């Protein structure tokens, strides 16, 4: 269970023993799967809200009809944002070899993709005159599901998003070794990891993200003020990432008097914004007894 499979040919060879020329990157395939799954889920949710008379565009177009174009725009902006934030986090490496870093098949910041992808999506939604907060609520479960699937891609390909060296002394006896430490042999970045290995943080993140998705999916039909569910999404996304950063190795940056990784700072801001939004909107609903339009 410590092997990584960067390309589809590696997966086929492991399953069948056949050496076929299939140089499709597994991380890219999982990202594509994540976008398709998220797009399908968002379509279902927008169609449900539209049928219930809770969501409509000012232009008269059914909300779910914009999802294919929205998905393409969010994907393009997300990839650009993921690359940009990775460069900002590793400026010394970028200065040494800018072209190699820009066109590398590894090295993407999930939060960078989330931030720029979300901003692009917001602009697209505003252009089509959809009510922003209800649309963000509809997108929250889809975004969390996409994140979970994308992290499976990190785990399978071994793209470097693993944790620090695992401490076996802390491992419960009942847990299999591969759940605590992995060496990611044959990983896509070409790193050699000494046994017993590192914490398989992408696997942990995928499991936490699936759990967060289940929570959001269960809450989506509860009566709540518009924007409340997206606030809960931000709170969960920030908490999950802040927790996993405690066993990951990322560059520590200086933010004035604060020393933290880029991901820790963004995660903390997400948690604060999510908690504040959820509290304010829950209070608004409690005072008025109705949801926002």
Residue 171 maps to a domain: no
Confidence of residue 289 (pLDDT cuts 50, 70, 90): very low
pLDDT for 157-178, tens place per residue? 998 889 999 999 999 999 999 9
Q: How many Å apart are CA 215 and CA 219, to the nearest integer? A: 6
Whether residue 86 contacts residue 112, with contact meaning beta carbons closer than 8 Å, is answered with yes
In the chain, alpha helices (H): 8-16, 26-51, 67-89, 91-96, 98-102, 110-127, 132-157, 201-219, 228-244, 262-288
Quick one: which H or E segment has residue 258? Answer: strand 258-261
Statement: the pTM of the whole predicted model exceeds 0.85: yes
* Residue 58 structural domain: 8-165+181-288
Q: Which residue has the higher pLDDT, 45 or 222?
A: 45
Is 100 a member of any domain?
yes
How much is the pLDDT for 64?
84
Residues 6+ apart with CB under 8 A from 21: 9
Question: Considering the domain boundaries, does residue 97 fall inside one?
Answer: yes
3-state secondary structure at position 160? coil
Q: Average pLDDT for residues 268-282, to the nearest whole number?
A: 93
Specify the number of domains making up the chain.
1
Would you say residue 21 lies in a domain? yes
Residue 293 lies in a domain: no
Q: Is the predicted pLDDT of residue 220 greater than 60, yes or no?
A: yes
Q: Are 5 and 185 in contact (CB under 8 A)?
A: no
Q: Would you state the pLDDT for residue 103?
A: 62
Question: Does 3 fall in a domain?
Answer: no
Q: Specify whether the CB–CB gap between 228 and 209 falls below 8 A.
A: no
> Which 3 state secondary structure label does DSSP give 245?
helix
Q: Give the model's pLDDT for residue 106.
A: 58
Chain position carrying tokens 């339009």: 293
pLDDT in tens, 36-93: 999 999 999 999 988 887 777 666 678 888 889 888 898 888 888 877 877 776 666 7
Strand partners, 253: 260
In a domain, 61, yes or no: yes
219 in a structural domain: yes
**How far is the C-alpha of 128 from the C-alpha of 43, rounded, in Å?**
15
């Amino acid at each position: 269970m410590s092997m990584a499979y960067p390309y589809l040919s590696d997966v086929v060879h492991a399953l069948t023993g056949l050496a076929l020329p299939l140089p499709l990157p597994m991380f890219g395939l999982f990202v594509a799967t994540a976008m398709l799954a998220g797009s399908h889920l968002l379509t279902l949710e927008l169609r449900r809200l539209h049928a219930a008379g809770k969501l409509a565009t000012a232009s008269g177009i059914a909300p779910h009809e914009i999802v294919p174009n929205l998905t393409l725009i969010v994907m393009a902006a997300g990839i650009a944002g993921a690359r940009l934030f990775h460069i900002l986090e590793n400026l010394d490496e970028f200065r040494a070899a800018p072209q190699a870093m820009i066109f590398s098949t590894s090295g993407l910041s999930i939060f960078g993709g989330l931030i720029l992808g979300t901003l692009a999506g917001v602009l697209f939604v505003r252009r089509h005159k959809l009510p922003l907060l209800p649309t963000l609520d509809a997108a929250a479960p889809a975004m969390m599901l996409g994140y979970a699937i994308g992290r499976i891609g990190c785990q399978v390909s071994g793209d470097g998003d693993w944790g620090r060296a695992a401490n076996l002394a802390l491992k419960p006896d009942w847990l299999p070794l591969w759940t605590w430490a992995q060496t990611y042999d044959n990983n896509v970045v070409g790193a050699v990891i000494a046994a017993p290995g590192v914490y398989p943080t992408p696997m942990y993140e995928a499991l936490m993200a699936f759990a967060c998705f289940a929570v959001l999916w269960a809450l989506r039909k509860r009566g709540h003020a518009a924007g409340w569910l997206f606030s809960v999404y931000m709170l969960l996304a920030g908490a999950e990432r802040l927790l996993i950063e405690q066993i990951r190795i990322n560059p520590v940056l200086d933010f004035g008097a604060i020393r933290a990784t880029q991901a820790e700072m963004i995660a903390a801001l997400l948690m604060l914004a999510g908690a504040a939004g959820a509290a304010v909107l829950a209070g608004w609903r409690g005072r008025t007894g109705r949801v926002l339009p």
